């Protein structure tokens, strides 16, 4: 006969394994392969995310066209009891010269939560200074409180919109199984292998 502690431990181990597996599936095509195939996968992700955003919120098409630039990231976030970890990959487009810069992201947080959340983020840089600051510094620290329970086959949903320091951020949830309240530090940096 199993004890309550044994049952809880078994369930926690199974949930952790599922979370790690799901998180690894979200960006596999963009993190493995040749640099050309990875860039292609990131470009395809960008087009899919923008198409979803435009269908949900059509006014963003003009906002992005008129901006100094924009970025699209794919991210997987794992929450395990008191810690939150995430990572992703994306691309920043400067509208001034139509140049793409491939980037990576990583985040660590503390707080209460459990689950995995796969989401896409679109950053709209409303002036050149905001774009330059993001490219040079690429660090964001903030709080987050979520309850996401979206299945991929049910379509996308805009999970949030925030405007900070001449940057509008849209978060689209692809699939998510998360309940979290965390304080996170997120770092964005240029991907030396792809630029």
**pLDDT classification of 101: cutoffs 50, 70, 90:** very high
CA distances from 161 to 9, 52, 92, 164 (A): 37, 15, 18, 10
Q: How large is the average pLDDT for residues 165-169?
A: 85
- What is the pTM (predicted TM-score) of this model? 0.70
| Highest mean predicted confidence (pLDDT) among 41-45, 136-140, 172-176 | 41-45
Q: Is the pLDDT of residue 43 over 70?
A: yes
Domain definitions of the chain by residue range:
4-190
Burial letters 156-169, b for 16+ CB under 10 A, else e:
bbebeeeeeebbbb
pLDDT at site 147: 39
Mean pLDDT, the chain, as a whole number?
73
Strand partners for 89 = 74, 104
Q: Is the pLDDT of residue 2 over 90?
A: no
Q: Is the pLDDT of residue 179 over 80?
A: no
Q: Is the pLDDT of residue 5 over 90?
A: no
What's the CA gap between 155 and 157, in Å, rounded?
A: 7
pLDDT at site 87: 83
């Amino acid at each position: 006969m199993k004890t309550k502690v044994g049952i809880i431990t078994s369930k926690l181990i199974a949930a952790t394994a599922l979370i790690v597996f799901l998180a690894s599936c979200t960006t596999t095509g963009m993190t493995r392969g040749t640099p050309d195939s990875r860039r292609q996968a990131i470009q395809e992700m960008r087009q899919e995310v923008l198409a979803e955003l435009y269908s949900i919120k059509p006014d963003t098409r003009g906002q992005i066209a008129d901006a100094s630039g924009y970025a699209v990231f794919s991210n997987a976030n794992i929450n395990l009891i008191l810690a939150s970890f995430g990572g992703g990959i994306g691309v920043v487009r400067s509208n001034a010269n139509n140049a793409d810069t491939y980037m990576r992201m990583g985040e660590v947080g503390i707080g209460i939560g459990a689950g995995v959340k796969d989401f896409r983020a679109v950053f709209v840089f409303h002036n050149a200074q905001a774009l330059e600051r993001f490219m040079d510094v690429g660090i964001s620290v903030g709080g987050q409180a979520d309850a996401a329970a979206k299945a991929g086959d049910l379509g996308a949903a805009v999970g949030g919109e925030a405007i900070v320091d001449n940057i509008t951020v849209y978060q689209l949830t692809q699939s998510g199984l998360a309940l979290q309240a965390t304080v996170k530090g997120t770092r964005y940096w240029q991907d030396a292998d792809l630029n």
